[in-house]
Amino acid sequence: MMDEKKLKEEIEKRRTFAIISHPDAGKTTITEQLLLFGGVVRQAGTVKGKKTGNFAKSDWMEIEKKRGISVTSSVMQFDYAGKRINILDTPGHEDFSEDTYRTLMAVDSAVMVIDSAKGIEPQTKKLFQICKMRGIPIFTFMNKLDRDGREPLDLIGELEDTLGIEAYPMNWPIGMGKGLKGLYDIYNNRIELYQREDQGENFLELDENGEIKGDHPLKEESIYQQVLEEVDLVKNAGNEFDEAKIARGDLTPVFFGSALTNFGVKTFLDAYLKYAPAPSAHKTVNGTEIEPVQKQFSGFIFKIQANMNPNHRDRIAFVRICSGEFDRGMDVFLQRTGKKIRLSNSTQFMADSRETVENAVAGDIIGLYDTGNFQIGDTIYTGKKAVQFEKLPQFTPELFVKVSPKNVMKQKSYHKGIQQLVQEGAVQLYRSYTTNDYILGAVGQLQFEVFQFRMKNEYNSEVVMTPMGHKIARWIDPEQLDEKMSSSRNLLVKDRQDQPLFLFENEFAERWFEDKYPDVKLTAKL
């Protein structure tokens, strides 16, 4: 065990974040660059085996392989500039699931990567809203500057309008695509010239008027004059740099760059590390806060990854450590059951390997091999004082299927499987109000596939799933509910707590309902 001074030092070194983005914006590419700075991978292109064949939905070997990869890349840890950085993966594409959302409960800040040709895309927006709700700092990287994209003013405007956050440009692109000359670095008061990789950094100093000192060919270019005017506008009419606002998540520093050519990434990382927070206190159910620096170890489980191989029934429970220090082999209490558990099988994740972790502190993520003890949202702790962290929020599912057992004679295993998988947080369960049919809800298709697979392999129950497609789920106050409100455009169901909600066909159906029943309040979860 470390003494308190050492523990404090270690915790203050931690920077734990997730990258939020829409698929293809460049999350993987920038992650690889960051890992390169950390000396973890020697060559870009090792994080995700891209172009190694298509993801076949029915092919479980593929999923298994894919899951295997995503387990090891779930958390990437590296050291850089005296800090220990934990990047948590937020799977997108076919892998998008409630776990993606829950991962954001385990980070202290977020990096939003945006494709500068596309601007804000739907998945970015969804993930952003969760970070905003948590009030964590959000840093923005406008990517793909080496390609022709949208005007920077336009991108900043859209960011502020669509997401409702103030933006502060840390730097400003000088040209783009083939005409990319560099970045006007407002924050560091310098110009960073665009160099292809391997050609090293090249910075120009600025004088007190913000112009290049001495002679330089860039001064003759019309784009240079244009950028001076734009920067002037941004400095005079834009938001002020405000650390307190950044810390609350009310203002996002915006960096431009190109992950692929590693341009502006280091500039981003250096500034990010300056303003990104170290682990802070976590709220418990009774309103108190658990400070990270203390002897008592505590943490919560935000994700459980099941093994897709039927020969290995083990699962990995991902724990965010909130306070104290983890040592392999230590005993902890599982708050939900009061049970004492020895944590001897722990793992930590590197870019392409798993390693047994001996020691970790608040801010770190550890994976625990689990044989069924843990559920998502569980708190574990040491010491005499019981700790229970706030419940993880429920997210509004968007995709629904009707589910039933293939073999009606096997009701027992069917119900047991559903009950356990739902409790674990793999999918959401609803029942139709009138017929009591089982309906499953998820935020991504993969959740259903994993559910179906695990039902068969872990509970020996084959299920039939009938897709119902996208629906808008809105809860209604039971007091206001009249069963006549149910129509062909919505389906009335109840959740696990027996709370009623409508599944609307589309936005039109929801609006129609709101017009018809103006006094009825409909609510979404997150």
Which amino acid is located at 78 in the chain? F
Q: How far is the CB of 175 from ligand G4P (least distance, A)?
A: 14
Quick check: 258 binds ligand G4P (CB under 6 A)? yes
Residues 218, 89: Cα–Cα separation, whole Å: 39
- Contacting ligand G4P (CB under 6 A), which of 16, 28, 307, 323? 28
Can you tell me which residue has the tokens 């999918």?
427
Binding letters toward ligand G4P, positions 104-143, x by CB under 6 A: ---------------------------------------x
Distant-in-sequence, close-in-space partners of 355: CB < 8 Å, separation ≥ 6: 347, 348, 349
- Contacting ligand G4P (CB under 6 A), which of 24, 270, 291, 398? 24
- Contacting ligand G4P (CB under 6 A), which of 16, 17, 21, 504? 21
- Contacting ligand G4P (CB under 6 A), which of 23, 68, 238, 277? 23
- Scanning 103-111, 253-261, 290-298, 378-386 for contacts with ligand G4P by CB under 6 A, the matching segment is 253-261
Q: How far is the CB of 187 from ligand G4P (least distance, A)?
A: 20
Residues 266, 288: Cα–Cα separation, whole Å: 38
- Contacting ligand G4P (CB under 6 A), which of 7, 20, 26, 382? 26
CB-neighbour burial class of residue 524 (10 A; exposed 0-12, middle 13-18, buried 19+): exposed
- Scanning 16-24, 245-253, 272-280, 375-383 for contacts with ligand G4P by CB under 6 A, the matching segment is 16-24
Instruction: List phi, psi (to 5°) of 78.
Output: -155, 165
Our CB check for ligand G4P shows the closer of 114 and 426 to be 114
Segment holding 15, helix H or strand E: strand 14-21
Q: How far is the CB of 181 from ligand G4P (least distance, A)?
A: 16
Q: How far is the CB of 192 from ligand G4P (least distance, A)?
A: 15
First and final C-alpha spacing in the chain: 39
Sequence length of the chain is 526
User: Of 398, 406, 446, 440, whose CA–CA distance to 422 is shortest?
Assistant: 440
Binding letters toward ligand G4P, positions 209-248, x by CB under 6 A: ----------------------------------------
Three-state helix/strand/coil letters over 121-179:
CHHHHHHHHHHHHHCCCEEEEEECCCCCCCCHHHHHHHHHHHHCCEEEECEEEECCHHH
Annotated binding residues, as ranges? Answer: 21-28, 89-93, 143-146
Q: How far is the CB of 504 from ligand G4P (least distance, A)?
A: 30
Query: Between residue 49 and residue 68, which ones bind ligand G4P under the rule CB under 6 A?
Result: 50
Our CB check for ligand G4P shows the closer of 92 and 363 to be 92
Residues 444, 450: Cα–Cα separation, whole Å: 11
Q: What angle do helix axes 445-459 and 411-424 make, rounded to 10 degrees?
A: 130
Annotated binding residues for GTP, as ranges? Answer: 21-28, 89-93, 143-146
- Contacting ligand G4P (CB under 6 A), which of 260, 265, 361, 426? 260
Q: How far is the CB of 121 from ligand G4P (least distance, A)?
A: 10
CA contacts within 13 A on the Cβ side of 279:
36
Q: How far is the CB of 149 from ligand G4P (least distance, A)?
A: 10
Q: How far is the CB of 276 from ligand G4P (least distance, A)?
A: 20
Can you tell me which residue has the tokens 């083990």?
314
Answer positive or negative: Cα dihedral of 65, 443, 387, 420.
Answer: negative
Q: How far is the CB of 184 from ligand G4P (least distance, A)?
A: 18
Is the separation of the CB atoms in 195 and 263 below 8 Å? yes
Quick check: 259 binds ligand G4P (CB under 6 A)? yes
Quick check: 29 binds ligand G4P (CB under 6 A)? yes
Quick check: 144 binds ligand G4P (CB under 6 A)? yes
The contact set with ligand G4P (CB under 6 A) reads: 21, 23-29, 50, 143-144, 146-147, 258-260
